[in-house]
Structure 1
C-alpha cells in the first residue's frame, strides 16, 4: 500500500543580492504586457481610494484587497505561462470558493492588528511634532515608544508579506500556519528583503520629478518583483530519505 503524501513547507534562504534578480525578472515580465499590469494597478488603486472614502465601504475594501492581490499574482503566473491574460483576472479569485475563507480571514486579521498600531502611531506623532517645533530633545520614553512601534509594524509586515501567496498558491487553509510560514520566510531572508525595501524606496523617489506619475510603472513592477521573491523562497523538493514526504 502506497504511503499518502504529506505536505511540508520548506523555505529557502536566498542571498542578500537576490532582490536584484527579482527586479530584473519583474522588468522582463512587465515589458511583455505593460498596459495590462498598469491597468490592473490603476483599477486596484481607484477601487481602494473610492471604497476608503466611507467607513462602511472601507470594510468592503478590507476583505476585497486580499482577493485583488491574489488576482494580480495569478495574472503574473498567466503571463509567465504565455496565457492570454486580461484585466478581469484580478477578480478571478472572488469566484474560487476554495480560497474564499482563508483570504477573508487574512484581510480581517490584518486590519485587526494594524488598527491599534495606527492609533498608537497617531497618538505618538503629536508629542513628536511638538518636540520638533520647539526644537527640544524628544523624551526618551517617546524614543522607546517609536522603536517599539517600528518593531510592531515590521512584525505585522512579516506575518502578512507572503500570506496571500501562501494561501492561494500553496493551498494552505490554516490561518496560523499561513502567518507562521510568512514570518519564517521573511526572517530567514531579512537581508534580501531589506535590500529590496531600499531599492524600492529608491525607485519610488525616482518618480518625484514626474510628480509621482511614474508610480504607475514602479508599483506594478515592485509587486511583480515581490511575487518573484515568493517563487524563489518557496520551492518543491522531494526528500529522498523519507518516502511519501513532499516538502514544499
Structure 2
C-alpha cells in the first residue's frame, strides 16, 4: 500500500468478487492488497472518468462538512484480473479499466434508507445543502443514495453531481453559468426532513472556503483529468473545478 500527499491512498486489486448490477455503470465488489473490500467504480464504465472525479470531490467535501461517507481509495487494477472473469460483459469492463479506478469502502450490513429511519433535521439539512451546492440530481426516492450503517446516515454515489464538466470536451464553459443555476429540491428524499437551511448555510459557508475546495480537488488523480480546450493539464483542470465551485459559493440561487 502506498500513498502520496495530497492524494487518496492507492492499493492494488487482488480479486474481483461480484458485479453490483445497479444502474448502467456496473460497479463491482473487489478485494485489495490492504485486505479491504471495496465497491469499485470503473473508469471504463458509463460516462468515463468524470464520474469518478465527481465522486471524489463531492464525497470528500461531504466528509469535510461532517457527513458520514465511506472512505475512498484509488484501486490499481491489473489486466490479469480480467482474464479470469467468466462474464463477458464484466471481462470487457475490467479490460477497459486497467490502471487506476475508484474504490469506496464496502459497509457490510448496511441497508438502504427507506424513509422509516429517523433522521436528524440538521444532518438532513447538511445533505440538502451539499446536493444543492454540487447540483446533485440523484438523491430522490427513486434512488436515494443513502445508507444506514451503525445507526448513522451515510451519503454515497455522487457521480451525477457537478454536471457542468460533461460540457467541457467542447471547451471550458463559464463558471458564472453554473453559479447562477438554480437547483430543484422537489424530488429530494430529505427535503421535508431538513431543518433550518439558512442556519446550515451560515455554518457551512464558514467551513467551505476556496482553500478547502482546492484541497478536495487536489485529491483527484491526474489520470482521471482528461485535457479539454482551455485546460490542457491536470493542474489547469483542477483550477477550473475550484473556479466553478468558488463561483457557486458566491451565489445563493441554488439554495432552497
TM over 0.5: no
Max radius of gyration: which structure?
1
TM-score by length of 1: 0.27
Q: Which has the higher contact order (CA 8 A, sep 6+)?
A: 1
Write 1 or 2 for the structure with the bigger share of helix: 1
Write 1 or 2 for the structure with the bigger share of strand: 2
